[in-house]
Structure 1
């Protein structure tokens, strides 16, 4: 069905659009309809344009097009006036009752988007008179780099989604631990490392107990932390593990609750990574919500999966 919105075809606009690019004016501020084209891919949506036999419809572009290279289905049933920036179509009476046709034009500058298509829908009495086509062009290599990044991010999200679905499909409790492969006959290897860790003088929390755990594909740390500040609580905001070669492993933590002044609380840290990436001595960095206070300990190691039952 014909869309009346002035921006019926609007792919995600660029986060930073150069000032020289034109954008569609507010609804009702100009004659005809306005369509914006961007370089982002990943969509099959084609804007619909309503045409009518005997009525001309003009497409005015803000970039030069290859008028001679345009393609138009059922062209023999149109009067066509091609130009570098203005293309006018007038369907004949033979188009009355016909199925939609597609108009495709390509731009002359070699930037993206390279081409644009429009779905021409025949109305018996009413056709659009004028369309303004504003194009937000980008160099092709820039678009390709962004598409590669998007594909990588989508691949990571799909993997994470698959993992979450797989975990959701498993039972809870002890059965769930065995079904997930995190626990075998040897249990979950663990060891107290409070005697081996190194501490920073700048730390604003005191470690009272530190226990390291390992399961296939993940490691965890149980921390009992005391907040010596007599006036201010300490709220965890983020955590990472930094490896022997300065590799950074993103860590999740729980619970994200304040450690009250003068009190002790337990905080769990977990990292999901292949077993080989969690070999060796690591530095744990935990920081507060406002970023001013940190807790950093070094020489954090994890037990081998072959060490036998845990706690």
Structure 2
């Protein structure tokens, strides 16, 4: 910001006189730290000098009331705990906001009483080369009142990753009995950890949801050959239950 032209230390104050550089930019910051020698806490105080093209403050008053170190440590611990709680609450709210809508959201929340649902874990066939183990599988369909064909279908899978690297779902597709393939929306996008487990939901809405099943479900990751294929995937018939 500039060069320090003059400073003076008194019994109860510190005076600084700074000459700005000719090329300084507004918003540039310089940190000044003052250390106290009386052995009480807090032991120091830091200030930021911020450059401004037109405004300046000639005098800043800071009052220090020395306190025992254990009191300061207690306040520090409480502030850190509050900050951690805020971060956890923020992460939870963001996760809730990013949950999928429509049928996929219902499938993620396992709302079997809201849409037609069926456990298909014992029905599907799994090639031995699959990168992940299948722990659970549910299929869902939603047919609006007055219609005979589903408007939405979704699959919720519980998967285990036996590998030594995380597995991240990058894409999913359904291939119906006629060979037609449609890509699916997927959620969540967080990886399934190595030697761990996780769940994914894939689905589709609109006319493309009216597939001729049984279908083949394909899942793949962004990089590498590790894929998951499930054959004989079916969707239940029925309408959403009313309240």
TM-score w.r.t. structure 2 length?
Answer: 0.48
